[in-house]
Amino acid sequence: MIEITRFADLVPRDHGLAVIALALPDGTVHASVASAGVLSHPVTGIPVVGIVAGRGSRKLAYLRTRPRATVVLRVGWQWSAVEGPVELAGPDDRLDGINAERLRLLLREIFTAAGGRHDDFDAYDRAMAAERRAAVLVTPAHVYNR
């Protein structure tokens, strides 16, 4: 298991704002900003980086064809990057061991792991379901720090 403590330590220092980079079919890179946090994988229990993505996002479309990502956090001159294979869990992306109820809780776990707070998690759950949001789980294969 690869250690991602340094990455996790940076999450609360800038609201979990991260850059996620994905390889495109033509060899170029797609990069976007997302909130990321560290949590236990809902099936294996190992530490992963989690992101919540919207149904129609390019990020999800690209990850369905090339399920690998790099997620980078930066605070001042300190940074950490986690790179590895991706698993998707959502209404349009079934992951063994994740039913609708487990997905509802997983989306909350990712949100709070990234530093999110909500006064009404029932409303949050309804919005996530209506938007058909998915969990993006990056299993660390490589970690780079400074």
Assigned fold of 5-145: Pnp Oxidase; Chain A (2.30.110)
Dump pLDDT digits (tens) for 104-145.
999 999 999 999 888 899 999 999 999 999 999 999 999 999
Taking 90 as the threshold, does the pLDDT of residue 56 lie above it? no
Dump pLDDT digits (tens) for 16-51.
999 999 999 898 999 999 999 999 999 999 999 999
- C-alpha span between 40 and 60 (Å, rounded): 21
Give the model's pLDDT for residue 146.
Answer: 83
Instruction: Report which DSSP code applies to 1.
Output: -
Average pLDDT over residues 56-76: 94
Taking 80 as the threshold, does the pLDDT of residue 4 lie above it? yes
Dump pLDDT digits (tens) for 84-105.
999 999 999 999 999 999 999 9
Beta strand 17-23 with 29-40 is antiparallel
80 with 6: CB under 8 angstroms?
A: yes
- C-alpha span between 128 and 12 (Å, rounded): 23
Helix axis angle, 100-113 to 121-130, nearest 10°: 110
- C-alpha span between 40 and 47 (Å, rounded): 4
Give the model's pLDDT for residue 25.
Answer: 86
Taking 80 as the threshold, does the pLDDT of residue 1 lie above it? no
